Chain A
Amino acid sequence: MAATASSILVVDDDPDICRNIADILTDLGYHVDTATGGRAALELIRRRAYEVALLDLKMPDMDGLTLYREIKSVQAATVAIVVSAYASDAVTDAALAAGVWHVLPKPVDLSRLLGLVSVVVGQPLVLIVDDDAELCKNLWDLLRERGYRVCLAHSEQQATERLQARSFDVAVIDMRLPDGDGSAVFQLVRQYSPEARTVLITGFGIELNPLLERVKAEGADAICYKPFDVPRLLELLQQLTRSGGGTPTSTGSGSPSAQEPA
C-alpha cells in the first residue's frame, strides 16, 4: 500500500450494503467511509478528498445524481461510480451526462467494480487553477474523458486548500487570479506537491512577460497562451504525466490489476 491509502466513499441507503462494500474494500487496503444518505455523504465529502464515490441512486433524502452534482461542486476530482437497481438506459445516460464515470447494475459485479476503482486511483490527478468557471468546466470534461482526475480551484485561496488536502501530478495555473497573480500558487505547488509538473496559462503574453520569465526560470514546465490550442494542451499533459514526477502511482497491495474497461 502507498503511504496514504486511497480513500473511497460508499453511499447506499441500505447499511448492510455499505458494510459489505466497506469490508471488501478495507480488506484490499483502501480507506473507506460510508453514508446511508445524501446529507451524511456531503458532511464526509467536506472533510476528506475521496478518490472514488460509489453512489446509490434512489435514497430517501436525496437522489444519487443530485448528490453527485453537490460532490462535484465541492470535490470535482472525486470520481463517481453509480451502482443502481434502476440502471435503465435513461438513468445511465442522465448519470453519465452529469459526469458520473460508470453506472453499474445491482447486484453489482464486484470484479468489475474493483477493477474500475483500481483504475481510478491510478489516474493522474490534475489541479486546474482558473477563475473562469466555464473554462474550468470545459477542461474538466475534456480531461476527464481522457482519463485524468480533475480538481478545480477558482482562486488562490481555493488552490491553497486543494494543495493542502492532497498531492497532485500536474497543476495548470492561470497567471491572473482574482486574488493574486498565479506566481504565489506556483510557489504553493512547489511547497505542497513538489513532484508536480506545472503548466502556466496566460492571456497577457507581453505585460506579464517578466513574471512569466521568472516563474519559468523557477521550474514551470510549460506556458499556454489564451486562447490556447486544446489538442496541444492535451498532448502536453500526456507528456508531463508520462515522464517524471507525475507518473501515476499504483495503490499496490490490494487492488486487483485491471484494465480500463471500454
Chain B
Amino acid sequence: MNPDELFRRYQELQQYVGWTEEDGQRVQALAPLFDPHLHALIDDFYVEIQRHPAALQVITGGQPQIERLKGTLRAWLRELLHGPYDRDYVARRWRVGWRHVDIGLDQVYTNVALSRLRQGLLKVHEQSCQGDAREALAARASLNMLLDLDLAIIEDAYQTEYLARQQRSERLATIGQVAAGVAHELRNPLNVVKTSVYYLLNARQPTAAKTAEHLQRIEKHVVLADNVITTLSNFAKMPLPNLQPFSLETCLRAAVEDNPGPGNVQVDFVMPPTLPPALADPDQIAIVFSNLIRNARDAMPNGGQLTLQATAMDSAVLVHVKDTGVGIAPELLHRIMEPLYSTKARGLGLGLAMARAILEKNKGAMSVHSEVGKGSVFTVRLLAAHTKSEE
C-alpha cells in the first residue's frame, strides 16, 4: 500500500475511535514526564522477551541485535509521545507489521508486548502525575487511544503482508503442480517419439512396414502431446456457454459412442419418455458426460455395468452416471474434483475439475456418492428447458 492510502486508512481509524487534535496535544504534553523513564521501560521489555522462546527465536543476532532493537523501540516510543501523527508516522508503523512477517514474529507477541508497554507507561503516569484528576484521566484515555491506533495499523500491515505471502506461495505451489502434471503427460508421448526416431535412425534391418509403423506412431504421439496442451489451455479459458434446449438422451448416447471401452462393460440407458430437454450448452455438457463415462469405464477394468439414468425433478433434470467399479475411498472423495488431482496412472487430473467448472457456468451442479468395492454414482443436475405443456 502506498503511504497516502495508508494515511487515509489511519485517518479513518482515528475517526472511528474519536481521536482529535486535542488528544494529540494531551499526549505530547505528557512526553517530558515519560522521557526520563523510557530507558527503564525498554529494559523491562527486553528482559520479558528473553523469557519467551517463541518471541526470542526471531532475534538471531544475539546481544548486539538486542541493543539495536532497543534503539528502535526508543525511537518508536519517542515518536509515539512527541508526534507528529502524519503520513510518515503511519508509514513507519506499517513497516513494523511488515517486518514482523519478515522475521516470523507472531502477531500475538506484538499484542502482548504493547500491552506490557502500555502498563509501564500508565504506571509512570500514575506515579508522577500531578494536577487536575479529570485532566489526568483524559490524558490516559488519549494515550490508550493512540496505542490502540498504533496496534491497529501494525496488525493491519501484518495481516496484509501475511496474506500476500501466503497467496504467493500457493501460486508457486500450483505452478509446480501444473508443471509436474504436464511434464509427466508430455514425457510419455515424447518417449514414444524419441524411441521411434531412434529405431528409424539406427535399426539394422528395418522393413518398409516397420518404418511406416514408426512414422505413424510418431505422428500419433505428436497429436497426443498436442492434446495435453489443448486440454490445459481449454481448462484455463473455458468459453461462455451457449444455453439452449437439447435432448439429454442424444447427448448421452453420443458420449457413450465417443468413449468406447474394451467390451466387457454393459451400458444401460434408463430414460423416461417424458423427460424434458435440458437447458445448457450441449457441446460443453458433452465434455462432462465424456469425462464421467471414461472415469466409469476406468473404474471397471474387469468389466461391469454402466447405467445412465435420467430423472426430472421440479425445474431440473438429473443424470446419474453409475458404475459397478472399484469405488472411491471416503478420504479421497473430497479431493477428486480438485484440478490436477488424479488416482490414475495416466492423465492430467483435470477431468472432474473441468466437469465441475463447466457445470458451474451452465447453472448446473455435480455430486458424487461412492462405496469402495461397489461402485460410484455421479449425479449431474441441469436446468430443465420449459416444455410447452408448462407454458
Q: How far is the CA of A13 from the CA of B221 in the complex (A)?
A: 15
Q: Which residues of the partner chain B approach A60 to less than 8 Å between Cβ atoms? A: 298, 301, 344-346
When the two chains form the complex, which single residue of A61, A86, A110 contacts B194, counting CB atoms closer than 8 Å? A110
Please count the residue pairs between chain A and chain B whose beta carbons lie under 8 angstroms apart in the complex.
Answer: 73
Known interface pairs A85-B183, A85-B184, A85-B188; A17-B195 also in contact (CB < 8 Å): yes
Q: Does A107 contact B (CB under 8 A)?
A: yes
Q: How far is the CA of A200 from the CA of B19 in the complex (A)?
A: 97
Q: Which residues of the partner chain B approach A13 to less than 8 Å between Cβ atoms? A: 345-346
Give residues 79-119 of A contacting B (CB, 8 Å): 83, 85-86, 105-108, 110
Give residues 270-312 of B contacting A (CB, 8 Å): 298, 301
Contact present for B195 and A21 (CB under 8 Å): yes
Residue of B nearest to A108 (CB): B191
When the two chains form the complex, which single residue of B190, B199, B301, B346 contacts A107, counting CB atoms closer than 8 Å? B190
Contact present for A86 and B184 (CB under 8 Å): yes
Contact present for A24 and B195 (CB under 8 Å): yes
Q: Which residues of the partner chain B approach A105 to less than 8 Å between Cβ atoms? A: 187
Q: Does B214 contact A (CB under 8 A)?
A: yes
Q: Which stretch (B34-42, B141-149, B200-208, B363-371) binds chain A?
A: B200-208
Minimum C-beta distance from A43 to chain B (A)? 16
Q: Which of A19, A20, A28 has the most CB of B within 10 A?
A: A20
When the two chains form the complex, which single residue of B196, B204, B344 contacts A254, counting CB atoms closer than 8 Å? B204
Q: How far is the CA of A24 from the CA of B188 in the complex (A)?
A: 17
Known interface pairs A13-B345, A16-B217, A17-B195; A106-B202 also in contact (CB < 8 Å): no
Known interface pairs A85-B183, A85-B184; A107-B194 also in contact (CB < 8 Å): yes
Q: Which residues of the partner chain A approach B191 to less than 8 Å between Cβ atoms? A: 14, 17, 83, 85, 106-108
Known interface pairs A17-B192, A60-B344, A108-B194; A27-B206 also in contact (CB < 8 Å): yes
Contact present for B221 and A16 (CB under 8 Å): yes
Contact present for A23 and B210 (CB under 8 Å): yes
When the two chains form the complex, which single residue of B187, B196, B206, B301 contacts A20, counting CB atoms closer than 8 Å? B196
Q: Which residues of the partner chain A approach B187 to less than 8 Å between Cβ atoms? A: 85, 105-107
Q: Does B220 contact A (CB under 8 A)?
A: yes
Minimum C-beta distance from A128 to chain B (A)? 35
Give residues 1-51 of A contacting B (CB, 8 Å): 13-14, 16-17, 19-21, 23-24, 27-28
Q: How far is the CA of A27 from the CA of B210 in the complex (A)?
A: 11
Main secondary structure of the interface of B (DSSP, over half): helix
Q: How far is the CA of A20 from the CA of B211 in the complex (A)?
A: 11
Contact present for B195 and A108 (CB under 8 Å): yes
When the two chains form the complex, which single residue of A27, A85, A86 contacts B204, counting CB atoms closer than 8 Å? A27
Main secondary structure of the interface of A (DSSP, over half): loop
Q: Does B109 contact A (CB under 8 A)?
A: no
Q: Which of A24, A61, A105 has the most CB of B within 10 A?
A: A24
Q: How far is the CA of A101 from the CA of B166 in the complex (A)?
A: 41
* Residue interface mask A247-258, B partner, CB < 8 A = 1: 000000010000
Contact present for A27 and B203 (CB under 8 Å): yes
Q: Does B198 contact A (CB under 8 A)?
A: yes
Contact present for A23 and B199 (CB under 8 Å): yes
Q: How far is the CA of A16 from the CA of B189 in the complex (A)?
A: 9
Count of chain A residues with Cβ under 8 Å from any Cβ of B? Answer: 24
Q: Which of B192, B194, B220, B298 has the most CB of A within 10 A?
A: B192
Known interface pairs A27-B205, A61-B301, A110-B198; A20-B344 also in contact (CB < 8 Å): no
Q: How far is the CA of A24 from the CA of B204 in the complex (A)?
A: 9
Q: Does A59 contact B (CB under 8 A)?
A: yes
Q: Which residues of the partner chain A approach B190 to less than 8 Å between Cβ atoms? A: 106-107
Q: Does A58 contact B (CB under 8 A)?
A: yes
Q: Which residues of the partner chain A approach B192 to less than 8 Å between Cβ atoms? A: 14, 16-17, 20
When the two chains form the complex, which single residue of B183, B210, B220, B298 contacts A16, counting CB atoms closer than 8 Å? B220
* Residue interface mask A231-249, B partner, CB < 8 A = 1: 0000000000000000000
Q: Which residues of the partner chain A approach B204 to less than 8 Å between Cβ atoms? A: 27-28, 254
Q: How far is the CA of A107 from the CA of B185 in the complex (A)?
A: 11
Minimum C-beta distance from A91 to chain B (A)? 12
Q: Which residues of the partner chain A approach B344 to less than 8 Å between Cβ atoms? A: 60
Q: Which residues of the partner chain B approach A28 to less than 8 Å between Cβ atoms? A: 204
Q: Which residues of the partner chain B approach A106 to less than 8 Å between Cβ atoms? A: 187-188, 190-191
Q: Which residues of the partner chain A approach B199 to less than 8 Å between Cβ atoms? A: 20, 23-24, 27
Q: Which of A23, A58, A83, A254 has the most CB of B within 10 A?
A: A23
Contact present for B188 and A23 (CB under 8 Å): no
When the two chains form the complex, which single residue of B195, B206, B214, B298 contacts A110, counting CB atoms closer than 8 Å? B195
Residue of A nearest to B346 (CB): A13
Q: How far is the CA of A13 from the CA of B298 in the complex (A)?
A: 14
Give residues 155-196 of A contacting B (CB, 8 Å): none
Residue of A nearest to B186 (CB): A85
Q: Which residues of the partner chain A approach B221 to less than 8 Å between Cβ atoms? A: 16
Minimum C-beta distance from A13 to chain B (A)? 6
Q: Which residues of the partner chain B approach A254 to less than 8 Å between Cβ atoms? A: 204
Q: How far is the CA of A24 from the CA of B206 in the complex (A)?
A: 10
Contact present for B214 and A23 (CB under 8 Å): yes
Contact present for B194 and A24 (CB under 8 Å): no
* Residue interface mask B36-69, A partner, CB < 8 A = 1: 0000000000000000000000000000000000
Task: Give 17 new A-B contacts, CB below 8 A, not counting A19-B217, A23-B214.
Answer: A13-B345, A14-B188, A14-B192, A16-B192, A16-B217, A17-B192, A20-B195, A20-B214, A27-B199, A27-B202, A27-B203, A28-B204, A58-B346, A59-B345, A106-B188, A107-B193, A110-B195
Q: Which residue numbers of B lie inside 8 Å of A, CB to CB?
A: 183-184, 187-188, 190-196, 198-199, 202-206, 210, 214, 217, 220-221, 298, 301, 344-346
A-B pairs, top 7 by smallest CB distance, nearest first, are A20-B195, A85-B187, A107-B191, A107-B194, A58-B345, A106-B191, A106-B187
- 17 contacts across the A-B interface (CB closer than 8 A): A16-B221, A17-B191, A17-B195, A20-B214, A24-B195, A27-B202, A28-B204, A58-B184, A60-B301, A85-B191, A106-B187, A106-B191, A107-B191, A107-B195, A108-B195, A110-B194, A110-B195
